[in-house]
Structure 1
Amino acid sequence: MAAIGGLVFTGVATYYGAVVSRQQLDQVKGDQEHEEQQQASRITTWTDPDASDGKLHVVNRSPDPATSASVTIGVERAVYVFQIPTLPPCSELSLQAKDIRFAHGTYRFSLDAGVWRADLLQFTDATGQTWQRTPEALEKIDFAASVVPYFPQFKVTPLDGECGYT
């Protein structure tokens, strides 16, 4: 009987050992995902509430630059995309609506002509991983959408306060 009892005890110990190992594996995986997202989670974009004469903000709160950024802007029933070659570390890029202009052939458009919003931000982090951020989510992607390069003039402002990893 003791052998059976010992077997049961060994089985229970093995079961709990497996549970603990699984939890540790899940923790390591979670830590790796957090580390992968560390820079990406610190890069964002938004528009001022009154976007018709407001600003577009693109902020990199990480100590590393991001590259190949593109911002997709929705205006009424149209979509415009522009490139930002580098998002400097610990910086905010701000663009006035009146300074964001698009031209396609003879068609000219300026954002100060209507209500607009930033729908999508794509960028490559310091490790070479490409990300996309929507108002709802941040996710890894395999490649960024190819766009017609439009490089607006923008002001880069160093950020005050916290910038970096903890």
Structure 2
Amino acid sequence: MTEFEKMIRGETFNGVDTDLRLRRETARLACAKFNAHPSKGNLRHITRLFAEFVSVVIEPGFQCDYGSQIHLGKNVFINFHCVFLDSAPIHIGDDVLIGPGVHLYTVDHPRDAKLRASGECFTRPITIGNNVWIGGGAKILPGINIGNNAIIAANAVVTRHVEENERYFG
């Protein structure tokens, strides 16, 4: 089984694997094309990476690891300089506003230094419900679920699940 297949299955994988590095490079180049000349035509370089999307506005500065595990609903707005590390699935519902500089992290690393040095990684998916507003600079950590209608404060570090209609200040 390849490291990509392990990653997709949610198993421990080696993040420095050559195939995974090449896949990240492909995503980086697609993002670079859009970010250098943002337009609807160049947005396709990013959206063709995505697993699923209905309608999305993405401002320049967007970066993702692979794109292939990003699932977007309708009317999603992703503001300037957002980072989606999508080693595990990222599911974003309908009518979601994502502020500038928001980071979504699905990948994590072992706490043991030797394992970490070997390149070993593991992942946990992120799920964001409908009508969510994530303030600028927020960081969403691996494995987090954010319920419908929730609001995440600017610069919050989200370390736990956020309930439906909750205002999370971190």
Please, what TM-score do these two structures have when normalized by structure 2?
0.24
**Structure number, greater radius of gyration:** 1
Higher strand share: 1
